[in-house]
Amino acid sequence: MDRAFQRTRILTNHLLLSTPAQTACLTSNDCFNYSPPELSENYAFDVNEMRKLMDGHDVEERDRLFGLIIQSRLFNPRVRGGKVFVSPDYNQSMEQQREMTWKRIEYLLERGVFKGWMTGEGEDVEMKRFACFEVLGLFDHSISIKLGVHFFLWGGAIQFFGTKHHHDKWLRDTENYKVKGCFSMTELGHGSNVRGIETVTTYDSKTGEFVINTPCESAQKYWIGGAAKHATHTIVFSQLNINGNNEGVHALIAQIRDADGNVCPNIRIADCGHKIGLNGVDNGRIWFDNVRVPRENLLNSVADVSPDGKYLSSIKDPDQRFAAFLSPLTAGRVNIAVNAVYQSKVGLSIAIRYALTRRAFSLKPNEPEVLLLDYPSHQRRLLPLLAKIYAMSFGANYLKMLYVKRTPQSNKTIHVVSSSFKATITWSNMQILQECREACGGQGLKTENRVGHLKAEHDVQSTFEGDNNILMQQVSKALFAEYMAAQKRNKVFKGLGLEHMNKPCPVIPSQLTSTTLRCSQFQMDALCLRERELLNRFVADVSQYLAKGESKEQAFNMSYQVAEDLGKAFSDRAIFQTFVEAEATLASGSLKDVLGMVRSLYALNCLEDITYLRYGFLSVDNGVAVSREITKLCTELRPHALGLVSSFGIPDSFLSPIAFNWVDANSWSSVQH
């Protein structure tokens, strides 16, 4: 009621200011003059140190790549409001956007950006590659996807599935773009259900060749990035049929174009057409009509076929074999999750900088209008999202390190965490970009201001490399399996961060004070409580359906709501854990103090989730206390808002005109120019 009264008073004062007598007194001095937020906003902490903590690695390499992009005309520099901005020209046709994407890749190739990406070894090489993808994604999603398909999917499949002769033959040519690769897994009739794909490969022992066929229209390869225009080769996923036995999904290398760009015999390729975003990527459809490839083109680290046609594999369990064939998707999911974090950083940087200079309504007659970010409602819209993306930055850094330090024993953990984080972070990215778009008002609709268009460009992240809803179900099933295994062995929980299940169940106090709500141990306990109770509930629900005679899959399907909530609870707790660990690396001081407030805001934002009330983890009164504390934290973080977005380390050129002098950017002189 108080907020409604305040808004009514503001509107009344605004109308009173519009009386004829006062209007007549207006002079040119009453016009709005842009003032950079840096003139009035002070940094209470070292933004460079915060950036190092956030980026986590390869800061110098990132800045070098930022420089390469800014200095080239290929990246569409334009002057607005006295500043140079770079972003793709989305007014170009689909064909033009694709051509520009390829020219930019050639530019980067000539300058050695991809050196060692396929032939180098070690954690440093992989982390540097991640850093470059993050920078390129800040410029354009199309270029990062186009590169991701070539290096992470095509190249990654050869690295993971292939053996030495594949590595020797293909990796250097991939790094140098002598071959342009794509990844043919998805079909018209099968996306997430990879196991059900319909493309069929048989073996001809007389010629020592595999024969690939598209047996029906639903088996056509679909959404294959690079296939419509540029790719010369592809990894084909198909059902391998040997001597009448279906051995399951396997991967082979097939050439689809010659060196001159002509489509190879017995292959048909069509364009997927215009999309709501990512039009710089040439997605295509592929049909195979008795396409013959040499026996050596089977990627055979998991299974092989002898010259006389015998199927050979050291992995006898078909389920385990199939799981091994999905490993390249893990790298893709890591990349997608990290890329989504950086898109949210762009949106928040633009929206918060705009809110620090844009004014609306006066509280009293003859007073200046109020900055958008000085309204509690605007703080409540943006600052919890800012805290969320800080948390997800630390989560993404943890995920990258988990991936580059991978071992055969850690594959399951990487799959679960990457699936969970990919879903959570990309969903959050869509939420954040939408809120930032609305927070920028009408300016958010302009393509040049980036935020609205970023939504369309990144919408696909929720469904490619695994539909988010299905990924979350996989997470819950993995947690279910861990629970059942611990019970069966009568041993403690170990792995996936579930060790908290071995401790007594946390208890939330009946009355939550501000001190308690800001305590990191309480925050962790509250997140662990939700995960613990939902896992117990999920196991109980599935077990109940099984006892009624339902199949295991049907029991999981019937428990979908709890499964979805459990997946989110796992992700929130795991991400919060990475935040606490990052915070613990800091010495006492202003940087740690501000980060502590950000951590509390993230944790309490998680506690405001509907599941805490739905399942009774929080009382209504405690839910109100959480919401009030969030509002207080937003007020306390308001003076640090500029410092927190400046710590993202994104050059001005990668933001947009409304993040800076939006008055000059929209002046009549800019129209004439």
Average pLDDT, the chain: 93
How much is the pLDDT for 192? 85
- Provide the 3-class DSSP secondary structure of residue 71: coil
How much is the pLDDT for 30? 60
Together in a domain, 256 and 335: no
Give the pLDDT band of residue 17 (cuts 50, 70, 90). very low
How far is it, in rounded angstroms, from Cα 214 to Cα 209?
Answer: 17
Give the pLDDT band of residue 19 (cuts 50, 70, 90). very low
Together in a domain, 593 and 647: yes
Under 8 Å CB-to-CB from 581, ≥6 apart: which residues?
394, 398
Question: Which CATH number fits the domain that encloses residue 236?
Answer: 2.40.110.10
Look at 67-76, 247-256, 324-333 and tell me which has the smallest mean pLDDT.
324-333
Together in a domain, 384 and 452: yes
Domain count, the chain: 2
Together in a domain, 203 and 226: yes
> In the predicted model, is pLDDT for residue 13 greater than 80?
no
Give the pLDDT band of residue 318 (cuts 50, 70, 90). confident
The reply to whether 92 falls in a domain is no
Give the pLDDT band of residue 12 (cuts 50, 70, 90). low
Domain termination residue (choose one: 295, 318, 341): 318
- Per residue in 634-650, pLDDT (tens digit) is 999 999 999 999 999 99
Domain termination residue (choose one: 299, 318, 337): 318
Together in a domain, 344 and 242: no
Contact 519, 600 (CB under 8 A): no
What is the domain range of residue 296?
180-318
How much is the pLDDT for 29? 43
Q: Which residue has the tokens 């074999």?
A: 321
Together in a domain, 246 and 365: no
pTM of the full structure: 0.92
Average pLDDT value for residue range 290-315: 95
Give the pLDDT band of residue 670 (cuts 50, 70, 90). confident
Average pLDDT value for residue range 214-225: 97
How much is the pLDDT for 669? 86
> In the predicted model, is pLDDT for residue 632 greater than 60?
yes
How much is the pLDDT for 672? 66
Average pLDDT value for residue range 259-269: 96
Question: Which CATH number fits the domain that encloses residue 447?
Answer: 1.20.140.10
> In the predicted model, is pLDDT for residue 586 greater than 70?
yes
What are the CB-based long-range contacts (under 8 Å, 24+) for 314-321?
318/247, 318/248, 321/248
Binding residues for FAD: 186, 225
Select from 69, 144, 143, 138 the least CA-distant residue to 649.
138
Together in a domain, 194 and 272: yes
How much is the pLDDT for 331? 86
- Per residue in 452-473, pLDDT (tens digit) is 999 999 999 999 888 999 999 9
Select from 94, 56, 90 the least CA-distant residue to 76.
90
CA Rg, the chain, in Å? 27
How far is it, in rounded angstroms, from Cα 20 to Cα 1?
Answer: 32
The reply to whether 63 falls in a domain is no
Pairing assessment for the beta strands 291-294 and 283-288 based on DSSP bridges? unpaired
Counting residues of the chain whose pLDDT is more than 70, the rounded percentage is: 95
Give the pLDDT band of residue 33 (cuts 50, 70, 90). confident
How much is the pLDDT for 28? 40
> In the predicted model, is pLDDT for residue 325 greater than 90?
no
The reply to whether 4 falls in a domain is no
Select from 482, 495, 476 the least CA-distant residue to 423.
476
> In the predicted model, is pLDDT for residue 9 greater than 60?
no
Together in a domain, 347 and 257: no
The reply to whether 293 falls in a domain is yes
Together in a domain, 271 and 333: no
Residues 408, 413, 416, 421, CA torsion sign? negative
Q: Which residue has the tokens 């993040």?
A: 659
Together in a domain, 219 and 358: no
Give the pLDDT band of residue 241 (cuts 50, 70, 90). very high
Enumerate the β-bridge partners of residue 83.
80
Average pLDDT value for residue range 530-540: 97
Contact 97, 90 (CB under 8 A): yes
Binding residues: 186, 225
Residues with a catalytic annotation lie at 465
Give the pLDDT band of residue 441 (cuts 50, 70, 90). very high
How much is the pLDDT for 107? 98
> In the predicted model, is pLDDT for residue 512 greater than 80?
yes
Average pLDDT value for residue range 79-100: 95
- Per residue in 142-179, pLDDT (tens digit) is 999 999 999 999 999 999 999 999 999 999 999 999 99
The reply to whether 162 falls in a domain is no
> In the predicted model, is pLDDT for residue 337 greater than 70?
yes
Give the pLDDT band of residue 200 (cuts 50, 70, 90). very high
Together in a domain, 348 and 271: no
DSSP 8-state secondary structure symbol assigned to residue 90: T
The reply to whether 100 falls in a domain is no
Helix ranges, 356-375 (H): none
Give the pLDDT band of residue 671 (cuts 50, 70, 90). confident
Under 8 Å CB-to-CB from 362, ≥6 apart: which residues?
10, 13, 14, 17, 368, 369, 370
> In the predicted model, is pLDDT for residue 312 greater than 50?
yes
Structure tokens at 184: 């043919």
Give the pLDDT band of residue 407 (cuts 50, 70, 90). confident
> In the predicted model, is pLDDT for residue 547 greater than 70?
yes
The reply to whether 135 falls in a domain is no
Give the pLDDT band of residue 262 (cuts 50, 70, 90). very high
Together in a domain, 267 and 343: no
Give the pLDDT band of residue 425 (cuts 50, 70, 90). very high
How much is the pLDDT for 330? 87
Select from 421, 354, 432 the least CA-distant residue to 389.
432
The reply to whether 128 falls in a domain is no
Look at 288-302, 318-332, 474-488, 593-607 and tell me which has the smallest mean pLDDT.
318-332
Domain termination residue (choose one: 297, 318, 339): 318
- Per residue in 348-398, pLDDT (tens digit) is 999 999 999 999 999 888 889 999 999 999 999 999 999 999 999 999 999
How much is the pLDDT for 27? 40
- Residue environment code for 58-69, b if the CB has 16+ CB neighbours within 10 A, otherwise e: beebbeebbeeb
Give the pLDDT band of residue 575 (cuts 50, 70, 90). very high
